[in-house]
Structures are given as structure tokens and as C-alpha cells.
């Protein structure tokens, strides 16, 4: 996903609803369009919030809620409970929507978006430009970018790839460039020599695979002898 931004990943034709849209209508909209969320916009085009499948399910579950007992009510915040009641019993988008929308700019990188989704435990982010909705990036969009073939660039020489692999190894304290040698033949990286552990072997394979121009990785290393461990 190197170089990809929100502009590259986003779905630009976003289905939106006004705040007065009934809950039942939104549920049908999500089901008919095969989508999992709709942003809520006012007449000026400003994003007010977003209604997700989770919001609608919470609304449906709220119909089965029972009033809190007197003992529980002693330890709950009235404002929080009132807000929860409105969200789980409301009839319109304005009532049930999530107001704290996570948004990014069009130039936000794919890596930043993925990290944001992971940290905030969310499934999508809105893409805004000058306060206006431009699109939406979902986890599915990130996955599609991950499996898409990388753009074709000029063929890199084996020597250049080898130097790039060695440079990457030197940046990692666990990668041993003293006992492990690197060769590159027609874009395929070959490791020779000795490897301390299977974990290091796996790490070097992943490291090499992430170097631009690498077409494959072959490991010819052997377990490090005891006498080399003692000398290391």
C-alpha cells in the first residue's frame, strides 16, 4: 500500500441521509444498497454524524431494555443514561447516529488510515476536504489495496536490490549480517550461511519480501553451530 492515499482508496459516491430520516428507512437503505453505514448531513452539506449497522442494532436491542432498578440507578450518571435512552429508542438519524466521526484528509496515507482504524477500533473513516464530504474509506477498501498488484516500475538491478536488502538488515538489531550472506539472482534474494533461530529466518524472509523489486526469497542457511554461538 506504499504511496496510496485516502483519495486513491475512498469510495467517492457516498450514500447520505438527512437527520430527520426514520430509523426504519435507514435499515432498508443499508440492506438494499449492501452498505454498512451512512453519513448524516444537514442541508448545508455539513457532516453531523454517521449511522452504522451497530447503531441500528443497538436501537433494535434498546426496545428490549428494561428500566434500571433503584439500586443500579444510584451508581449511574443521569446524563449518560438519558443519552443512551435517546440513542436506543430514537426514531430518526439524528437520535441514533454516532456524532464523534473520525475523518481524514484526502492526502492521508493508507498506513495512517489503517493505524487509525486499529487504534480507535473502527471500520471506516470519512474523507473530508474543506469540511465537505468527499468519500469514505472502509476496511474492505484497505484490504483491496493490500491484495492489488503493485504498480510496475523500472526493473531494478540485482546489485541494487542486494544493497537495499543489506541496508534493511543493518537497520534491524536482530538481523545478523556477519554470519548471513545475501545474493540476488534475477530479482530472487538468496540467504546463505548461518541463522540463529527460526524466528530470525522468518523475519529476514519478510524483510526481503518488502524490499522493492524482490520477486522471491530462497533460504539456504543452516542452524548456527554451537562454536559460533560461543564466539558471537
The set of cell numbers assigned to 192 is 546463505
pLDDT for 194 equals: 87
d(CA 169, CA 211): 11
User: What Rg value do the Cα atoms of the chain yield, rounded?
Assistant: 26
The set of cell numbers assigned to 22 is 426514520
The closest of 115, 224, 217 to 161, measured between CA atoms, is: 217
pLDDT for 141 equals: 87
Task: With 0.85 as the threshold, say if the pTM is over it.
Answer: no
pLDDT for 8 equals: 87
pLDDT for 84 equals: 61
d(CA 131, CA 43): 14
- Phi and psi at residue 16, in whole multiples of 5°? -125, 165
Per the rule left: phi > 0, alpha: psi between -120 and 50, beta: everything else, 131 is left
Q: Which domains, from first to last, does the chain contain?
A: 6-147 (3.10.580.10), 158-231 (3.30.1340.30)
| Blockwise average pLDDT, block size 10, the chain, 232 residues | 81 92 92 90 94 85 54 56 65 90 94 94 93 92 73 73 91 84 94 90 94 93 70 52
pLDDT for 232 equals: 53
Give the list of residues 6+ apart from residue 131 with CB closer than 8 angstroms, or none. 46, 47
Q: Mind spelling out the 3-state secondary structure of the chain?
A: CCCCEHHHHCECCCCCECCCCEHHHHHHHHHHHCCCEEEEECCCCCEEEEEEHHHHHHHHHHCCCCCCCHHHHCCCCHHHHHHHHHHHHCCEHHHHCECCCCEECCCCEHHHHHHHHHHHCCCEEEEEECCEEEEEEEHHHHHHHHHCCCCCCCCCCHHHHHHHHHHHHHCCCCCCCCCEEEEEECCEEEEEEEECCHHHHHHHHHHHHCCCCCCEEEECCEECCHHHHHHC
pLDDT for 93 equals: 93
Amino acid at each position: 500500500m506504499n504511496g496510496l492515499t485516502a483519495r486513491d482508496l475512498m469510495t467517492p459516491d457516498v450514500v447520505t441521509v438527512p437527520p430527520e430520516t426514520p430509523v426504519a428507512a435507514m435499515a432498508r437503505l443499508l440492506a438494499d444498497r449492501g452498505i454498512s453505514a451512512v453519513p448524516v448531513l444537514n442541508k448545508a452539506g455539513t457532516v453531523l454524524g454517521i449511522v452504522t449497522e451497530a447503531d441500528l442494532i443497538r436501537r433494535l436491542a434498546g426496545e428490549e431494555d428494561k428500566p434500571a432498578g433503584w439500586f443500579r440507578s444510584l451508581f449511574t450518571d443521569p446524563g449518560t443514561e438519558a443519552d443512551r435512552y435517546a440513542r436506543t429508542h430514537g426514531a430518526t438519524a439524528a437520535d441514533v447516529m454516532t456524532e464523534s466521526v473520525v475523518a481524514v484528509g484526502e492526502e492521508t496515507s493508507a498506513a495512517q488510515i489503517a493505524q487509525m482504524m486499529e487504534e480507535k477500533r473502527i471500520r471506516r473513516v470519512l474523507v473530508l476536504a474543506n469540511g465537505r464530504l468527499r468519500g469514505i474509506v472502509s476496511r474492505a477498501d484497505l484490504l483491496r489495496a493490500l491484495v492489488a498488484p503493485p504498480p510496475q516500475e523500472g526493473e531494478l538491478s540485482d546489485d541494487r536490490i542486494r544493497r537495499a536488502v543489506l541496508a534493511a538488515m543493518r537497520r534491524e538489531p536482530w538481523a545478523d549480517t556477519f554470519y548471513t550472506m545475501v545474493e540476488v539472482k534475477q530479482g530472487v534474494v538468496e540467504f546463505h550461511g548461518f541463522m540463529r533461530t527460526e524466528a530470525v529466518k522468518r523475519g529476514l524472509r519478510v524483510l526481503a519480501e518488502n524490499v522493492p523489486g524482490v520477486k522471491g526469497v530462497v533460504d539456504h542457511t543452516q542452524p548456527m553451530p554451537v562454536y559460533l554461538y560461543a564466539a558471537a
